[in-house]
Copies of this chain bind each other. A is one copy, B any other.
Amino acid sequence: MEKLLREILNEIKPLEEEIERERGIYKEIKEIIEENGVKCVLVGSLAKGTDLRGDKDIDIFIKFPEDLSREELEENGLRIGMEVFKRIKVKPEIDYAEHPYVRGTYKGYNVDIVPCYDTKNPKSAVDRTPYHTEYVMKKLRENKGMGDEIRLLKQFMKGINVYGAEARVEGFSGYLTELLVINYGSFLDTLRAVSKWKFREVIDLENLWGNEELPRYFFPDSSLIVIDPVDENRNVAAAVSVQRLSEFIVNAREFLRSPRREFFFPKKRDVPSKKIIMQKISERKTKLVAVHFNHKGMNENLLYSQLRKTINSIIKSIEKFNFKTIKQDIWADDEIGVMLFEFEIWKLPRIVHHYGPSIYSSGRDQEKFLRKYEMDKPYIEGYRWVVDKKRRFSRIEDAMNLILERKDGFGKNLRRVEFKISINDEILSIEKEEFFRFLAEFLRI
């Protein structure tokens, strides 16, 4: 184990030359910013010394005095950011977090220049970031080796695909990963603790709440609760999905049982052949339905969160029509988005057994029902009226067409896209290696 971890660390620790290059870039930009009479600060894993080899993010926050209005802060932030990129001859882009900010690619690095308030009472995630950096740096100063332990955990999480708070992953953010190691002391102690986590585990590093019951009550929807040491009312793990949390716990257990390099650097599975996929589909005797579309370069976070919202709405509609899925999942790349459904019930009789009012209900309700369905010959079942009426949709294809037309509960940005439906083998017309890998996973090949 010791040897394995040492080997991994050797591969993931940033090289001395990387660090020097990054420091140089920061110094260069810092000087330009400070010419404007404001202070700035390096944040993120680079500042904390918890970054991995090959990481290409340099995050710089400009600190503005608290009495500045939000408009002035945004204006000054953008102006200074634009000036920086102009001076270093980089084409800037404006992106949006809580405030708009400027980003650009310089010497191969993604440089973000973000305005924030220099305040002791941070009101936004952006304002909180410098405090996060400060908190972690303080802890790492007290324990020099901890940075490497954090690097190991980050790489482990990347390997098992639970790292990153973005909508695509819904996993563990860098800050959350750092807090876990700070709390448990080392990479291995973290995995040992994680492997024994209880349902709705509470981690409160600075003991800000004093007990576990109150935070559970305060964060009722979270499956993991990690109190932010710089803001007791914030759950750092709020964005972690149940799925990623479970995968993390199970992988921690498996790694402790048999530690292997593959947890950190998994081998990519072979792309399955069309023949094998088709075989598996016909073997399961289910019905696969893919709803796919060209997303025309939609922002990834937006795309994934709207795919999730939309697939949940579609499932609700499907159930209203009495069809039933075994499971469903989403997939996307930089071109298309896919919602994939596997059906247990996709064909239904022509009639539906439709319950009407109780025979004890108001005469008006009963007469209305009896008149409406007169031709279908209503009858009594127990104490209710019932009728075997024509079902609206007997085939999932027809129901799905209506659902995609109505777009009830669809994500806002998915209301304008043009959906296509592919069934079973037709799905293989989405000829992308990564999608085939996703299919193989979905079909348990």
Contact = CB atoms under 8 A, between A and B. Distances in A.
A249 interface: yes
Given A360-B198, A376-B444, A388-B284, A243 B353 contact: no
Given A350-B283, A351-B326, A250 B388 contact: no
B247 A380 contact: yes
Interface string A263-289: 000000000000000000001111100
A348 interface: yes
A379 interface: yes
Contact of A359 (B250, B327, B353): B250
A327 B444 contact: no
Most chain B CB neighbours (cut-off 10 Å) among A243, A246, A326, A358? A246
A426 to B, nearest CB: 18
Interface residues of A, number: 39
Contacts of A402: none
Contact of A360 (B199, B327, B381, B388): B199
A412 interface: no
Contacts of A250: 359, 380
B249 A284 contact: no
A201 to B, nearest CB: 10
Interface in A225-273: 242-243, 245-247, 249-250
Given A198-B360, A326-B388, A223 B383 contact: yes
Contacts of A91: none
A284 B391 CA distance: 10
Given A199-B383, A345-B345, A285 B242 contact: no
A444 B375 CA distance: 10
Contact of A243 (B243, B249, B350, B380): B380
A377 interface: yes
A365 interface: no
B286 A349 contact: yes
Nearest to A223: B383
A343 B345 CA distance: 13
A388 B327 CA distance: 10
A294 interface: no
Interface string A177-206: 000000000000000000001110000000
A19 B245 CA distance: 85
Contacts of A350: 283-286
Contact of A382 (B242, B286, B376, B380): B242
A405 interface: no
Contact of A444 (B245, B286, B388): B388
A394 interface: yes
A445 to B, nearest CB: 9
A98 interface: no
A369 to B, nearest CB: 12
Given A199-B360, A351-B285, A382 B345 contact: no
22 contacts: A197-B360, A198-B360, A199-B358, A242-B383, A243-B380, A243-B381, A243-B382, A246-B359, A246-B380, A250-B380, A284-B350, A284-B388, A285-B350, A285-B394, A286-B349, A326-B351, A326-B353, A327-B353, A327-B381, A343-B349, A345-B345, A379-B444
Interface of A: 197-199, 223, 242-243, 245-247, 249-250, 283-287, 326-327, 343-345, 348-351, 353, 358-360, 376-377, 379-383, 388, 394, 444
A-B complex: 10 closest residue pairs judged by Cβ atoms: A285-B350, A286-B349, A326-B353, A285-B349, A377-B444, A199-B360, A242-B382, A284-B351, A246-B380, A246-B359
